[in-house]
Chain A
């Protein structure tokens, strides 16, 4: 638990509204970002966050402090978001994140990048299509956001938690209830998809006759 999460959590159990407001502000950016990784719509993401805090009030006494408050909070958030998305799509909440419950994705088959000996089976991402200065340019922000939004839910959530919100691998695995090897595969697949999408964008952009359109075209 963060240094003063513990004292804030204790204070909110007793109804201290200023401590609660501090805790809300502390996790506001991360919570809304993770909620948006699920539901995308800003208004619904905010509702998910509100429902999460309501669930926190009701469950705070049951919080055993075996994990950090942060991990517990985001587990609750992901449950609420999964429930919300399943209500809208009429699917089981588990179907969005339960990759451990399904046939475990084999890193070789899932990534299709490595041969049986663990060497690169295909050429890794080529380095000449996504110039660093291009990636760091302001206009690329929009493209990176779009690329992240285009990822499948699991990959979008794992990338958001890890690279955008700074969660440790252990925290991501605890929050998403996944195993470490599945986490690694999801991260690899997500980065690969992001590369491919951004490469297509920069390839289009570098064509002198290309229209100033930012959306990539399907091959």
Chain B
């Protein structure tokens, strides 16, 4: 054992924290080391003097009363796992509401019936602008079902194939409730557009179908959804 090893254990030696073998090692070192004997003697005197110090540290009566009052106040509030019960109940209520909302939302998604896709055709071929008085019997109303549909539109005669903008609106001047864009092609001598329209949530009533070749003005056709 070196002097350093012995000296760093001097406090524990006099406090009685060392094992018998550690004490024996230090005793053996002290027998042969004058400097350490001197150091240990001084350390013993200092520690003895510290042990003699009066233990006068106490709380003031006011502090003691406060500590007890804090304890009473803490335990007077009903708690669940250390958290005030009212807080736990409030949190549980919020979580329950959220859970019910999630369950309802999931249930709605799961129970919503799949909507069948209908194939619908709108024939606008003879509804282009005519010069002179219009002849022939009144044309039937254009009708769309309240459904999701693969819509085929035969554009009025004279319309060129190309890119067309389409939209459906409730009233002129208001934003459309649906809009899309599709390429018109010649099919059986008719300029034809195919486009998907989801109308199963629409209300029944009068609408207008707007058609516009890319960059041209819009032409509107009255439409009934039912």
Interface residue count for B (Cβ, 8 Å)?
46
**Interface status of B51 (Cβ within 8 A of chain A):** yes
Are A144 and B74 interface neighbours, CB within 8 A? no
- A135 adjacent to B46 (CB under 8 Å): yes
A21 CB-CB contact with B under 8 Å: yes
List residues of B (62-98) whose CB comes within 8 Å of A's CBs: 63-64, 66-68, 70-72, 74-75, 81-82
Pick the residue among A50, A120, A141 that contacts B52 (CB under 8 A): A141
B55 contact set on A, CB distance < 8 A:
29, 33
Residues of A within 8 A of B82 (CB): 58, 60-61
CB distance from A189 to the nearest CB of B (A): 10
Q: Are A144 and B75 in contact (CB under 8 A)?
A: no
Q: Is the CB of A24 within 8 A of B64?
A: yes
Within A127-174, which residues are at the interface with B (CB < 8 Å)? 127, 130, 132, 135-136, 140-141, 144-145, 148, 159, 162-164, 166, 168-169
**A107-B15 Cα distance, complex, nearest whole Å:** 21
In the complex, per-residue mask of B38-52: 1 if CB is within 8 Å of any chain A CB, else 0: 110111011111111
Interface check B111, CB cutoff 8 A: no
Contacts of B10 in A (CB 8 A): 188, 191
Q: How far is the CA of A117 from the CA of B36 in the complex (A)?
A: 15
A195 x B70 contact (CB < 8 A): no
Instruction: Give the complex CA separation of A88 and B52 in angstroms.
Output: 33
Return the contact of A184 from the options B8, B63, B66, B81 (Cβ within 8 A). B8
Interface residues on A, range: 35 or more
Let me know if B2 is at the binding interface, CB within 8 A: yes
Determine if B217 is an interface residue (Cβ-Cβ < 8 Å): no
B46 engages A15 (CB within 8 Å): no
Tell yes or no: A76 within 8 A of B by CB. no
Interface of A is mostly: helix
Contact A29 B68 (CB under 8 A): no
Q: A120 CA to B34 CA in the complex, in Å?
A: 11
Interface membership of chain A positions 27-66, coded 1 if the CB is closer than 8 angstroms to chain B and 0 otherwise: 0110011001000000000110110011001101100000
**Which residues on A are within 8 Å of B, measured CB to CB?**
12, 15, 17, 20-21, 24, 28-29, 32-33, 36, 46-47, 49-50, 53-54, 57-58, 60-61, 107-108, 111, 113-114, 117-120, 123-127, 130, 132, 135-136, 140-141, 144-145, 148, 159, 162-164, 166, 168-169, 184-185, 187-188, 191, 194-195, 198
Other A-B pairs beyond A58-B74, A117-B2, A191-B43, 8, CB < 8 Å = A29-B57, A50-B67, A118-B3, A118-B4, A119-B4, A124-B35, A184-B9, A188-B11
